[in-house]
Chain A
Amino acid sequence: AQTVTQSQPEMSVQEAETVTLSCTYDTSESDYYLFWYKQPPSRQMILVIRQEAYKQQNATENRFSVNFQKAAKSFSLKISDSQLGDAAMYFCAYFDYKLSFGAGTTVTVRA
């Protein structure tokens, strides 16, 4: 079974600064997807960014970017120019035929 590990239960960042969230996963597959989801206090699950394992180029979506290290099975999320609206729980997720989630990292943004 695939496992996804997020080792940082909580992270705090100053507004306009950068924060990086860590994620590692375990798999024997060569083709899969990785995702980061955001869950604000409303509970809604919002897709932030995705990475296809066969792509070497790291995905970027506006202020969100990933550092995908396939050999190391690492998939970190960088939030640049943090805004108050970025405060949420962030989940790393791995997909090959189902979506498996890490435990989540709570991000707080200080004004």
Chain B
Amino acid sequence: NAGVTQTPKFQVLKTGQSMTLQCAQDMNHNSMYWYRQDPGMGLRLIYYSASEGTTDKGEVPNGYNVSRLNKREFSLRLESAAPSQTSVYFCATSWGRDLTSALNGYTFGSGTRLTVV
């Protein structure tokens, strides 16, 4: 089935450890996004990639890096995890960033629950 696949689904890290969250899509979408979801704060944009080869900061980029490896894959890296990065992380995709491309909203992965202890 076409969609957005995130790995892993769950992860526990110790403070200071690093890890990469993977996202792959077979929707042939151009734009990809990383969000974090925290109680009482909704989903906040970390980074996005409007198209292959480009990445830009979102609302809460500090402590994260991203790589748009190709059209299908967009990874999120935590270089030195902190307890404040405990959250649920979502990858999402869309055809593009203009209004017409977003008419059907974004397609979301099923999320990664990350706990930093």
User: Which of B41, B42, B59, B110 meets A43, CB within 8 Å?
Assistant: B110
Complex: A47 Cα to B88 Cα, angstroms: 19
Kindly state whether residue A45 has any CB partner on chain B within 8 Å.
yes
Complex: A104 Cα to B92 Cα, angstroms: 18
Are B110 and A33 closer than 8 Å at their CB atoms?
no
Are A100 and B88 closer than 8 Å at their CB atoms?
no
Kindly state whether residue A84 has any CB partner on chain B within 8 Å.
no
Are A99 and B102 closer than 8 Å at their CB atoms?
yes
Complex: A93 Cα to B99 Cα, angstroms: 14
User: Which of B42, B90, B103, B110 meets A50, CB within 8 Å?
Assistant: B103
Are A97 and B42 closer than 8 Å at their CB atoms?
no
**Count of interface residues, chain B, beta-carbon cutoff 8 Å:** 25
Are B42 and A101 closer than 8 Å at their CB atoms?
yes
**Count of interface residues, chain A, beta-carbon cutoff 8 Å:** 28
Are B42 and A104 closer than 8 Å at their CB atoms?
yes
User: Which of B45, B98, B105 meets A47, CB within 8 Å?
Assistant: B105
Digit string of B73-115 for contact with A (CB within 8 Å is 1, else 0)?
Answer: 0000000000000001010100001110011111010110000
State which residues 39-64 of B face A: CB under 8 Å: 40-45, 48, 58-59
Q: Which residues of B contact A (CB under 8 A)?
A: 33, 35, 40-45, 48, 58-59, 88, 90, 92, 97-99, 102-106, 108, 110-111
Known: A33-B105, A43-B111, A101-B44. 4 other contacts (CB 8 A): A4-B42, A45-B108, A98-B48, A101-B43
Q: List 27 A-B contacts (CB under 8 A).
A: A9-B40, A31-B99, A32-B99, A33-B103, A37-B105, A43-B88, A43-B111, A44-B110, A45-B92, A45-B106, A50-B103, A50-B104, A50-B105, A91-B43, A93-B105, A95-B99, A96-B99, A98-B48, A99-B33, A99-B45, A99-B92, A99-B105, A100-B45, A101-B43, A103-B40, A103-B42, A104-B42
Q: Which residues of A contact B (CB under 8 A)?
A: 1, 4, 6, 9, 31-33, 35, 37, 42-45, 47, 50, 52, 91, 93, 95-104
